[in-house]
């Protein structure tokens, strides 16, 4: 069982099922395929709302830099994208960003730089 909180920017897409992945920091107790995920927005506030309850399909290690995204081998089968494990081409980066709820790689990169810093290493959770 894992509880995941989503920024209000992503809440609608999580709730409707358009967003089916998230990128998170490594956890003390890692999420694994088969785990039940409880997806919320506004946790620890009076505006807390449960968005969905889903089953985790798979988890991959991920590294995001200013110029690329590196995902451990095997992820592209789950994503449906026709690309390598290291994304460097703008169209591949844009495709990945859209899967994660952004309009483009540029928007995603700017958000990560502002909110988390780059490079970032963590896990890609897919449901």
What CATH number corresponds to the domain at position 43? 2.30.130
> How many domains are there within the chain?
1
Q: Which helix (H) or strand (E) element contains residue 90? A: helix 90-99
Q: CA–CA distance from 41 to each of 24, 28, 61 (Å)?
A: 15, 22, 24
Domain with 61 in it: 2-126
Helix 90-99 to helix 105-115 angle (10° resolution) is: 70
Nearest-angstrom CA–CA distance, 113 and 57: 28
Q: For each of the chain's 127 residues, which pLDDT tens digit applies?
A: 899 999 999 999 999 999 999 999 999 999 999 999 999 999 999 999 999 999 999 999 999 999 999 998 777 667 777 677 889 999 999 999 999 999 999 999 999 999 999 999 999 999 9
- Whole-model pTM: value is 0.91
Reference 101, options 15, 20, 42, 1; nearest CA is: 20
């Amino acid at each position: 069982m894992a509880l995941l909180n989503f920024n209000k920017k992503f809440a609608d897409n999580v709730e409707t099922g358009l967003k089916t992945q998230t990128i998170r920091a490594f956890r003390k107790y890692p999420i694994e395929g088969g785990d039940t995920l409880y997806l919320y927005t506004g946790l620890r506030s009076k505006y807390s709302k449960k968005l969905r309850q889903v089953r985790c399909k798979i988890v991959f290690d991920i590294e995001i830099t200013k110029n690329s995204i590196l995902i451990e081998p095997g992820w592209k089968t789950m994503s449906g994208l026709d690309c390598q494990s290291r994304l460097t081409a703008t169209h591949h980066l844009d495709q990945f960003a859209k899967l994660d709820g952004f309009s483009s790689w540029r928007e995603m990169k700017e958000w990560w730089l502002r909110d988390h810093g780059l490079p970032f290493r963590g896990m890609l959770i897919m449901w």
